[in-house]
Amino acid sequence: MSATPFVLSVVVPAYNEEEVLPVFQQRMLAVLQGLGCGYEIVYVNDGSKDRTLEVMHALRRDDPCVTVVDLSRNFGKEIALTAGLDKAVGDAVVVIDADLQDPPELIPELVRQWQSGFDMVYAQRVARDGETWVKKLTAKLFYRLVQRASRIEIPKDTGDFRLLSRRALDALLELREHHRFMKGLFAWIGFPSVAVPYRRDPRAAGITKWNYWKLWNLAVEGLTSFTIAPLKLASYVGFVIALLGFAFAAVIVYRTVAHGDPVRGYPSLMVAILFLGGVQLVAIGALGEYLGRVFNEVKHRPLYLLKGFAPSRAHAARLAAAPLPPTPMVDEGARAQGLESR
Ligand code: UDP
Ligand code: MG
């Protein structure tokens, strides 16, 4: 494909994906072999409860292009993805779901765009087959909201399926925050980016790991880690209410002085108390969301811990060729176990 040889890493987070992984591997290998470059597939087992890990090791026995990263428990997709990216040795890296909703056949096009000079090539859905209209609508509303509230432009209808150049990846890996809203982080780092349209397929096998509660949490995550607009809103509302209260107080003082002091005003009193109480609770809630995040970040825990690590041939070769390449940051967990390798 290209005159200069390069290594492509494909990072695949997987949670309970035993059914789909062999099919995934087959389709992925067909694509990668067609590229005519060096490659590795980095599988991350995110604390699966089924035989996902065994399947991964079996795939690695079949083809040494496979790296297996085994997390100590389920950390969630965003962190599993980060663990895989930490271990990827490629000159470019593709992030893709295990369930074949992202077609591997799009990768050659992503690579072409990267070779023409883009650091971030993201796949953009033109259709969301197999998803309910509720999910489509909520997704749409959410992206509108984030776009408005933060100054970061998150491309519409994109997932994590994308290609990153080595320099974009190194930049991304410097962001070690615990509340990882990946789509936001991808957008935050900047660099020349381009979209490649594709059709998103329904899941090949297994079930989605998402439910509405998880999606809601992801939405809160996205908003609070990229904008402090809710906090600002709370202070503006507080300010307006204080003004109104002041005006109302003036009216009462005037009425008392001019017309004496008839005992009235229970309804208005009740309304004012309930309204203020509500506003205060909402504002405290918003504060709490941020405080909780500060609390989680200041603990400085490692993002994840590894239970096992089995490098691909490309990974081992990179190690032999350059024992100590500079890395922006290493994961504490892996280092503690003597597994840090890049
Ligand atoms: N995943 C993961 N950890 C989790 C949940 C999901 O690694 O806790 C992986 C999952 O195996 C899949 C990808 O993240 O490869 C996307 O998950 P899923 O297909 O359930 O999400 P959806 O496509 O419905 O958004
Ligand atoms: Mg999926």
pLDDT tens-digit profile of 320-336?
776 555 555 545 554 44
pLDDT of residue 210: 67
Ligand 1 site, residue 98, Cβ cutoff 6 A: yes
Quickly list DSSP for 182-247.
HHHHHHHT--SEEEEEEEEPPPSSS--S--HHHHHHHHHHHHHHH--HHHHHHHHHHHHHHHHHHH
Nearest CA to ligand 1 atom 2: 77
- Asked if residue 106 has pLDDT above 60, the reply is yes
Average pLDDT of the chain to the nearest whole number: 82
CB 309 within 8 A of CB 69: yes
Measured CA to CA, the distance from residue 164 to residue 94 in angstroms comes to: 6
pLDDT per residue as tens digits for the range 275-314: 777 778 777 877 877 887 888 788 788 889 899 899 998 8
Higher-scoring residue by pLDDT: 183, 60: 60
What atom in ligand 1 is closest to the CA of residue 81? 7
Rounded (5°) CA angle 324-164-141 = 135
The predicted pLDDT at position 212 comes to: 77
Percent above pLDDT 90 for the chain:
34
DSSP string for residues in 110-155:
HHHHHHTT-SEEEEEEEEETT--HHHHHHHHHHHHHHHHHSS--PP
222 close to ligand 1 (CB < 6 Angstrom)? no
Q: How far is the C-alpha of 325 from the C-alpha of 228, rounded, in Å?
A: 37
CA of 144 to the centre of ligand 1 (A): 23
Instruction: Give pTM, 2 decimals.
Output: 0.72
> What six digits make up the tokens of 340?
């840090």
Encode pLDDT of 192-211 as tens digits: 999 998 877 766 666 666 67
Q: Could you tell me the CA-to-CA distances from 10 to 38, 74, 104, 205 in Å, in that order?
A: 11, 20, 10, 20
CB of 128 within 6 A of ligand 1: the answer is no
| pLDDT tens-digit readout, 259-268 | 776 667 766 7
Q: Which atom of ligand 1 is closest in space to residue 15's alpha carbon? A: 11
Residue 113 in tokens: 């765009």
Q: Which of 42, 51, 52, 97 to mutate to test the pocket of ligand 1 (most atoms within 8 A of CB)?
A: 97
**Pocket lining: 80 vs ligand 1, CB cutoff 6 Å:** yes
What is the CATH topology of the domain spanning 7-207+302-338? Answer: Spore Coat Polysaccharide Biosynthesis Protein SpsA; Chain A (3.90.550)
Q: What residue type is 3 in one-letter code?
A: A
Q: What are the structure tokens assigned to 197, written together?
A: 């349209």
Burial call 274-291: b when 16+ CB within 10 Å, e when fewer:
eeeeeeeeebeebeeeee
Structure tokens given for 278: 């509500």
Q: Is 18 in the pocket of ligand 1 (CB under 6 A)?
A: no
Q: In whole angstroms, what is the distance from residue 305 CA to residue 248 CA? A: 58
**Model confidence at 339, in pLDDT bands (50, 70, 90)?**
very low
The label of the residue with tokens 């980016």 reads 193
pLDDT at position 329, please? Answer: 52
* Cβ neighbourhood burial of 145 (10 Å; 0-12, 13-18, 19+): middle
Rounded Cα distance, 342 and 331, in Å: 10
DSSP lists the bridge partners of residue 8 as 39, 92
340 pLDDT above the threshold of 50: no
